[in-house]
Structure 1
Amino acid sequence: MGSPAVSVVLPFKDSERFLEPALGSLVSQTLTDFEVIMVDNGSSDSSRKIALGFCENDSRFKLYQSGGGLVRVLNSGLDHAQGRWVARFDSDDLCHPDRLLLQLEAAEENGEKTVVSCRVRSFPDSAVSSGYRQYESWINDLESSEDIQHNLFVESPVPHPSAFYGREAVIEAGGYSDCGLPEDYELWLRLWSRGFRFIRVPKTLLAWRERPDRFSRISSAYSLTSFYRTKAKYLGLVPCLQGKRVFVAGAGQTARRLGKHIQREGFVIEAFLSPVPVREGQLLRGCPVVDISRWKNTQKLPIVVATRIPGAAQAVQGYLESRGLVNWKNFVLCS
């Protein structure tokens, strides 16, 4: 019997409340040429029993044991997988019946150095904040490879359980890294730095469960500081920023914190460009603050746009574009 086309890598720990419907959504896939690599990360509830039940009823379901944290469990899943393609999936989410089929078609059309995502819908509605719903809308609106690339340093544009990628290509790139950073976002930026493209199937194929005890809510690897460190680590690989001498558009907390981390990565900040005129003349991270409306870029340096205030980044982007500057050529959006 040959290898399956797709390996679904599904880590779990104490997921008895959600595991059965999650696995059931895989049984309902219109694509049948797949395996499910379930990796138990030390469950103490009935999750393992539920997983074993699926193994007994369907030979495509395979159960393994691991430990030592999520990164080790994910890499264990990649090691056990036999498919050319890997679909990530979490034990509390739900797949649309066509998810594997549509993502496989997109992946085969675009090649192994492509990460294929899809639109997502967070649920249940009662647990989803307005801010998180805005993040979901932002994700879903980014479809083309160019749009996703131009927003890579804003937030993670690929929800991890929606990702679909070439197994060998990701393993060759080092797999998941246990470096104290958000393991999925760090992987996306590392893959981008190695020439991978990102695309999105324009259909909602994943129901993404929101709950307060989700790993990304409680792990220090997902703190704002960890995200700033991750962005700073790779920001210098953007072609227009490789000289590492920049202006930072923003003078608030985001600009200050991101500024600290890019300085640690060797960036020289010429000045912070403030949308708020009253801050002109102040010092931030040892650099002058300049009113952006009075700023003259005589040195033709690139700009890192650094703000998390709703609407502020779009306003700054609009202002820069009105001056003839181009996203990813003259400035990079960050937050």
Structure 2
Amino acid sequence: MSSPPPISVLLPVRNGAEYLPEAIASIEAQTYSKYEVIAVDDGSSDDSWFVLQEWASRDERVRVFRQGPDGIVPALEFARSEATGSYLARMDADDIAGPTRFELQLQLMESDSSLAICGCETEYFPLEKVRDGALRYQTWLNAPATPEEIEKEIFVECPLPHPAFFMRGDAIEEVGGYRDLGWPEDYDLLLRVWRSGGRLGKVSSVLMHWRETPQRLSRTDKRYSLDAFRRCKVHHLVSAFPSAVNGVLIWGAGRVGKGFGRELARVGVPVIAYAEVSPRKIGQNIHGAPVLDTDEALRLKDVLHLASVGQEGARQRLRNLLSRAGYRELENFVAMA
């Protein structure tokens, strides 16, 4: 009996027939060919199942299953239960993998046993449909290159794109796999892996092309709303930093900071104060918490500081300010957005 391939590709499909042939072609074009594909048709009403069956009929590495519609988490968990490879590579039915994706991600993971998940740089396409906000997000997503840089962004947003996840199977099993708690399943998984001690890496090359369509789940499903992301972040923040239950100080009394303040209060974490540079806001109270100036805020050393501003430039200035004052990122201050 032949040994299982190192890589199992997890491919959930829901009404993906239009673009699925392009995704399939990009998998077939991989320079590293020792993989299996577990494709799960999650209740499609288009021709996805027939496309998958045709693929499986001509490639023995491909196994196809049909269920649901049950949702992406049950589809991914079923695919994971069928996987025989040591590594799990995510793929979506409407995206395109670069030809060296599997080869380079496998090389990175094999070279560093501390990595539990790695990603890669991504590009949105087709360009004429990509808005400025998506391009800014792409720039932010591609910027951190090392595990240390990626880690510092972990509460800003999910720092690795889900369709590019390349995961160590035992690390995913250790944290219980995917789960549906009403917030992004990929971000939740990544945060649990990070909290368990798994490091996050990246191949610094564009190996995934991310299709921009109005139908993307991240645009249509409430599990990917701003509120859902905020709930996910706060849940994992409190779990990762138990000292937060004693109180936090939020830098930024704008929309982002107030949003986190409300969610923290909802889960029972006291907001000791907000910090601001705007003279107009200093001295006010937000739900009973005073708005302090910079000097007053920096003197509060015994609480967790949250740099909660939305703009990257302002966030970096806050990081610089707190670092100069002796605060250490991911120890007593955290960047969030």
Asked whether the 8 Å contact 1:240–1:328 carries over to 2, the reply is: no
What is aligned with 1:92? Answer: 94
Query: How far apart are the structure 1 equivalents of 2:6 and 2:206?
Result: 22
Asked whether the 8 Å contact 1:235–1:241 carries over to 2, the reply is: no
Q: CA deviation at 1:278?
A: 0.7
What is aligned with 2:328? Answer: 326
The reply on whether 1:145 has 2:155 as its aligned counterpart is no
The count of residues paired between Structure 1 and Structure 2 equals 335
Gaps of 5+ in 1: none
What is aligned with 1:8? Answer: 9
What amino acid does structure 2 have at the position aligned with 1:226? A
Gaps of 5+ in 2: none
Q: 1:159 to 1:299 in 2, by over 3 A?
A: closer
Query: How far apart are the structure 1 equivalents of 2:271 and 2:240?
Result: 16
What is aligned with 1:267? Answer: 269
Query: How far apart are the structure 1 equivalents of 2:181 and 2:331?
Result: 30
Query: How far apart are the structure 2 equivalents of 1:44 and 1:323?
Result: 58
What amino acid does structure 1 have at the position aligned with 2:53? L
Query: How far apart are the structure 1 equivalents of 2:233 and 2:156?
Result: 9
Q: CA deviation at 1:206?
A: 0.4
Query: How far apart are the structure 2 equivalents of 1:34 and 1:253?
Result: 46
What is aligned with 2:49? Answer: 48
Cα RMSD (Å) of the superposition?
1.7
Q: CA deviation at 1:141?
A: 1.1
The reply on whether 1:76 has 2:78 as its aligned counterpart is yes
Counterpart pick for 2:185 among 176, 183, 186: 183
What is aligned with 1:245? Answer: 247
The 5-angstrom pairing of residues 84-163 of structure 1 reads: 84-111=86-113, 114-163=116-165
What amino acid does structure 2 have at the position aligned with 1:111? S
Asked whether the 8 Å contact 1:112–1:165 carries over to 2, the reply is: no
Q: CA deviation at 1:251?
A: 0.2
What is aligned with 1:292? Answer: 294
What is aligned with 1:236? Answer: 238
Q: 1:249 to 1:142 in 2, by over 3 A?
A: same
Q: 1:243 to 1:13 in 2, by over 3 A?
A: closer
What is aligned with 1:223? Answer: 225
What is aligned with 2:256? Answer: 254
Q: 1:65 to 1:168 in 2, by over 3 A?
A: farther
Query: How far apart are the structure 1 equivalents of 2:184 and 2:55?
Result: 31
Query: How far apart are the structure 2 equivalents of 1:112 and 1:167?
Result: 13
What amino acid does structure 2 have at the position aligned with 1:3? P
Which string of whole-angstrom CA distances, capped at 9 and with x for unpartnered residues, describes residues 148-196 of structure 1? Answer: 1111000110100000012232123111111111110011111111111
Segment of structure 1 superposing worse, 216-225 or 258-267: 258-267
Q: CA deviation at 1:266?
A: 3.3
Q: CA deviation at 1:140?
A: 1.0
Query: How far apart are the structure 1 equivalents of 2:176 and 2:9?
Result: 19
TM-score calculated relative to the size of structure 1: 0.95
Counterpart pick for 1:198 among 192, 200, 208: 200
Query: How far apart are the structure 2 equivalents of 1:104 and 1:157?
Result: 19
Segment of structure 1 superposing worse, 321-330 or 205-214: 321-330
Segment of structure 1 superposing worse, 34-43 or 324-333: 324-333
Question: Aligned residues: percent identity?
Answer: 34
Q: CA deviation at 1:112?
A: 7.1
What amino acid does structure 2 have at the position aligned with 1:21? E
What is aligned with 2:307? Answer: 305
Query: How far apart are the structure 1 equivalents of 2:106 and 2:139?
Result: 24
User: Secondary structure at 1:207's aligned position in 2?
Assistant: strand
User: Secondary structure at 2:178's aligned position in 1?
Assistant: coil
